[in-house]
Amino acid sequence: MRAFLWPLLCMLGLYQLSSIPGTPRPDPAGLAWSLSWLSSGLQNFLHIPAYGLLAWLWQRALVRLPLGRGPATITALGLTLGYGLFDEWHQSWVPGRYPSGADLMLDGVGALMGLTLGLIQSARTLRF
């Protein structure tokens, strides 16, 4: 199903971003250099919309299965938080990066916000 491609692509993008070393490479054309101007506080804040999007994409994909909205939402939350945990572990192997419980909490906040928006969106769709 094509619906599952979008959350997988989102996860791939997040993996690529978390693979950038903590100290930017001097190559001015590289992705690390282009993101180096962001403060660490803003980089941390960006976990919220990134993981909100990931959770929303999982929710949209999973509701197409015969699970029902509730189980699909809980599964989407589990997949998103599980990926956040994996991503923090992955960062422990990237030079200049480290795992952070605060980042994982921001991932959870983003996931809950994305899932809430998804539920609101689906409730509005059902009315019409």
- Give residue 124's pLDDT: 76
Average pLDDT, the chain: 87
Does residue 106 contact residue 44 with C-beta atoms inside 8 Å?
Answer: yes
What's the pLDDT tens digit per position in 1-19?
A: 789 999 999 999 999 999 9
pLDDT surpassing 90 at residue 118: yes
- Alpha-carbon distance 80 to 57, whole Å? 10
| Cα separations in angstroms, 67 against 2, 62, 75, 94 | 18, 8, 10, 37
| Cα separations in angstroms, 69 against 30, 59, 118 | 41, 8, 10
**For the chain, how many structural domains are there in total?**
1
What's the pLDDT tens digit per position in 37-96?
A: 667 778 789 999 999 999 999 999 999 999 889 999 999 999 999 999 999 999 999 998
- Give residue 62's pLDDT: 96
| Cα separations in angstroms, 1 against 7, 29, 62, 64 | 12, 36, 10, 9
- Taking Cα atoms as reference points, which of 48, 41, 60 lies closest to residue 109? 48
- Taking Cα atoms as reference points, which of 114, 126, 122 lies closest to residue 58? 114
Single-letter amino acid, residue 97: R
- Give residue 36's pLDDT: 60
pLDDT surpassing 50 at residue 128: no
pTM of the predicted structure, to 2 decimals = 0.86
Rg of the chain over Cα atoms, rounded to whole angstroms, equals 16
The answer to the question of residue 70 being in a domain is yes
Residue reference for tokens 């994982």: 104
The answer to the question of residue 31 being in a domain is no
The answer to the question of residue 82 being in a domain is yes
The answer to the question of residue 92 being in a domain is yes
Give the domain extent around 106: 56-128
